[in-house]
């Protein structure tokens, strides 16, 4: 080993400094530091697990240190304002500004390249409409053909599904308090209804996943008795059956026993000391017809509250099978929430996050078109979630076919999330996604619940201004023809011309199948109400 090699320079310097400082009787701090570094260098040379430490004793630790803070260096010093990975600095800033009541105006002109492929805008009117009050709402569960006992008037912008356990108690308190102040709904996530969801009394959408948390028997199957106990609460406005989520569709989950606190166990209805398993599929049904019968059962047990389901689109014939089951049984859910593949999660395998699940635009189009083609669209409301932050995001999504939008990470930013992407480590720096009591105390509930309400209100005000400029008085009037997209440097198209849209009843006419987009012509005949498997006869 050549101690004069540049690879060993730091180690050699530590040894020399130690010997010289001892010989010259230097202040004790100098030989102490030199001795500590020498011990580190010897340890690096003797260990066998890391090649860098063996080849670069002492120096390798600097590499490991800078690697550990690489995300922070990129975010604070190198990040481009416009690069959305997952959200750009400009996207996060608009949330922070609206949540804190700071100015959200921009000087000097757009920072976007308006001639880049994919750039989108909404055409304005030369005679703008009078600006309306920003509390835009839609009615869910009040269709004359299938009225519900307890219909719900929902905001067009709401908090998407995030569970207690994934988020801290203080985060849940602040989100629900903000929802109460602003009059919008808060989806519980599949972790069920915790005491922190109940404290402020904000409107809840109770999401029920494959683990049936909050309504499960000891063996993990559905418990009717426990469901009724939670669903009958006046605070619960709607019931949402979770089939899959955009960030990790088709993937179950395990909350290790070591991470299950007494509060989480009581909320979810699971035992302490045992891994909490979320299966990848439901045990209460196995076919599209059985799924709809289960939804109808939940609706009846809840006292007639609007009931629907959430899914990420995968195999088209599976969703088509669900729609065929609606036609054959007459059981129609009150709503469907479409979760795009760009959606977020506390933790997921990278292959699932990056390469499983249909993006929101295509998923929303498929659901909207299928319901239109089956003459069911006017009976079923559609919610949509997936990287929705601004009023333009909402307007764009509604124009493509949704009735309302949900946002998870947007409201996390309103709570103070800085996109450190450490949700899965329990070391969230802002107390949003952690169960560490010391870390979550940094999230001061009274302040953050106001920020949640402010973000919602100011985004809705921006939406009111946007649709008024386009000549409309309610966002439900948005259509694909209002959205324009650049497809090359010298060509633009309306979304209505660029994207396929079905006519009412087209799927019910066999003579029309050959004229439909290939996804319908190929997979609609294969779909079965009696099975999620395709018919291949």
Same-domain pairing of 484 and 391: yes
Using the 3D structure, point to which of 52, 78, 104 is the last residue of a domain: 78
Q: Look at residue 80 in the predicted model and tell me its pLDDT.
A: 67
Same-domain pairing of 70 and 160: no
| 87 in a structural domain | no
Q: Look at residue 81 in the predicted model and tell me its pLDDT.
A: 66
The mean-pLDDT minimum among 225-229, 256-260, 460-464 falls in 256-260
Same-domain pairing of 64 and 210: no
| 413 in a structural domain | yes
Q: The domain spanning residue 318 has which CATH number? A: 3.20.20.70
With a cut of 90, say whether residue 5 has pLDDT above it: no
Using the 3D structure, point to which of 61, 78, 95 is the last residue of a domain: 78
pLDDT tens digit string along 258-317?
667 888 888 888 888 887 778 889 999 999 999 999 999 999 999 999 999 999 999 999
Q: How confident is the model at residue 378 (pLDDT cuts 50, 70, 90)?
A: very high
| 523 in a structural domain | no
| 90 in a structural domain | no
Domain count, the chain: 2
CA–CA separation, 505 vs 508, rounded Å?
5
Same-domain pairing of 314 and 441: yes
Q: Look at residue 86 in the predicted model and tell me its pLDDT.
A: 84
CA–CA separation, 150 vs 289, rounded Å?
24
pLDDT tens digit string along 36-90?
999 999 999 999 888 889 889 999 998 888 877 777 777 666 666 667 678 888 8
Q: Look at residue 82 in the predicted model and tell me its pLDDT.
A: 66
Same-domain pairing of 181 and 70: no
pLDDT tens digit string along 101-137?
998 888 888 888 999 999 999 999 999 999 999 999 9
Same-domain pairing of 17 and 165: no
Average pLDDT over residues 383-395: 96
Same-domain pairing of 171 and 52: no
pLDDT tens digit string along 480-495?
999 999 999 899 999 9
Q: Look at residue 525 in the predicted model and tell me its pLDDT.
A: 95
The mean-pLDDT minimum among 64-73, 117-126, 200-209, 226-235 falls in 64-73
Compute the Cα dihedral for 22, 27, 32, 38 and give only its sign: negative
Q: Look at residue 420 in the predicted model and tell me its pLDDT.
A: 83
| 411 in a structural domain | yes
Q: Are 236 and 204 in contact (CB under 8 A)?
A: yes
Same-domain pairing of 159 and 73: no
Q: Are 292 and 334 in contact (CB under 8 A)?
A: no
Q: Are 392 and 464 in contact (CB under 8 A)?
A: no
Same-domain pairing of 219 and 365: yes
Q: Look at residue 374 in the predicted model and tell me its pLDDT.
A: 97
Same-domain pairing of 65 and 156: no
| 395 in a structural domain | yes
Q: How confident is the model at residue 347 (pLDDT cuts 50, 70, 90)?
A: low
Same-domain pairing of 157 and 69: no
With a cut of 90, say whether residue 459 has pLDDT above it: yes
pTM of the model: 0.89
Q: Look at residue 537 in the predicted model and tell me its pLDDT.
A: 64
Same-domain pairing of 345 and 252: yes
Range of the domain at 170: 151-506
- Kindly report the three-state secondary structure assignment for every residue of 139-202: EECCCCCCCCCCCEEEECEEECCCCECCECHHHHHHHHHHHHHHCCCEECCCCCCCHHHHCCCC
CA–CA separation, 60 vs 9, rounded Å?
12
| 484 in a structural domain | yes
């Amino acid at each position: 080993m050549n101690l004069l090699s540049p690879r060993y320079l730091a180690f050699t310097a530590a040894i020399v400094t130690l010997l010289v400082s001892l010989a010259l009787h230097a202040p004790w701090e100098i030989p102490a530091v030199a001795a500590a570094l020498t011990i580190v260098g010897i340890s690096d040379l003797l260990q066998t697990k890391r090649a860098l430490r063996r080849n670069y004793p002492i120096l390798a630790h600097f590499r490991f240190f800078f690697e550990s803070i690489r995300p922070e260096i990129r975010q604070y010093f190198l990040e481009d304002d416009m690069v959305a990975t997952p959200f750009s600095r400009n996207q996060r800033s608009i949330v922070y500004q609206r949540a804190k009541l700071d100015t959200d105006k921009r000087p000097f002109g757009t920072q976007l390249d308006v001639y880049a492929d994919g750039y989108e805008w909404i055409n304005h009117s030369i005679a703008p409409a009078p600006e309306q009050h920003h509390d835009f709402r839609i009615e869910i569960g009040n269709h004359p053909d299938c009225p519900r006992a307890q219909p719900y008037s929902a905001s067009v912008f709401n908090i998407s599904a995030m569970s207690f356990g994934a988020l801290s108690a203080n985060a849940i308190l602040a989100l629900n308090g903000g929802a109460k102040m602003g009059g919008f709904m808060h989806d519980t996530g599949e972790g069920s209804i915790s005491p922190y969801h109940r404290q402020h009394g904000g409107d809840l959408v109770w999401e029920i996943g494959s683990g049936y948390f909050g309504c499960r028997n000891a063996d993990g199957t559905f418990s009717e008795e426990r469901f009724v106990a939670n669903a009958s609460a006046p605070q619960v406005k709607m019931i949402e059956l979770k089939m899959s989520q955009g960030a990790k569709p088709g993937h179950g989950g395990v909350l290790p026993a070591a991470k299950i606190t007494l509060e989480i166990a009581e909320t979810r209805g699971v035992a302490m000391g045992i891994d909490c398993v979320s299966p990848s599929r439901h045990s209460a049904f196995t076919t599209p017809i059985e799924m709809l019968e289960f939804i109808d059962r939940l609706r009846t047990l809840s006292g007639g509250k609007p009931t629907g389901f959430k899914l990420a689109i995968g195999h088209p014939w599976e969703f088509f099978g669900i729609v065929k089951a609606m036609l054959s049984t007459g059981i129609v859910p009150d709503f469907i929430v479409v979760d795009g593949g760009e959606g977020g999660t506390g933790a997921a395998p990278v292959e699932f996050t990056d390469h499983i699940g249909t993006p929101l635009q295509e998923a929303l189009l498929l659901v909207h078109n299928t319901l239109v083609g089956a003459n069911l669209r006017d009976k079923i409301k559609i919610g949509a979630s997936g990287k929705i932050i601004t009023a333009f995001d909402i307007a764009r999504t509604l124009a493509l076919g949704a009735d309302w939008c949900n946002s998870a990470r947007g409201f996390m930013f309103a709570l103070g999330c800085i996109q450190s992407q450490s949700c899965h480590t329990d070391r969230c720096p802002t107390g949003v996604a952690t169960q560490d009591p010391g870390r979550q105390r940094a999230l001061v509930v009274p302040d953050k619940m106001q920020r949640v309400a402010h973000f919602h209100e100011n985004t809705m005000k921006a939406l009111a201004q946007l649709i008024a400029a386009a000549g409309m008085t309610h966002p439900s009037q948005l259509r694909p023809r209002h959205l324009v997209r650049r497809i090359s440097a010298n060509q633009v198209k309306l979304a209505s011309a660029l994207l396929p849209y079905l006519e009412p009843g087209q799927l019910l006419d066999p003579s029309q199948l050959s004229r439909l987009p290939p996804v319908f012509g190929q997979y609609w005949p294969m779909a079965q109400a009696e099975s999620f498997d395709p018919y291949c006869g």
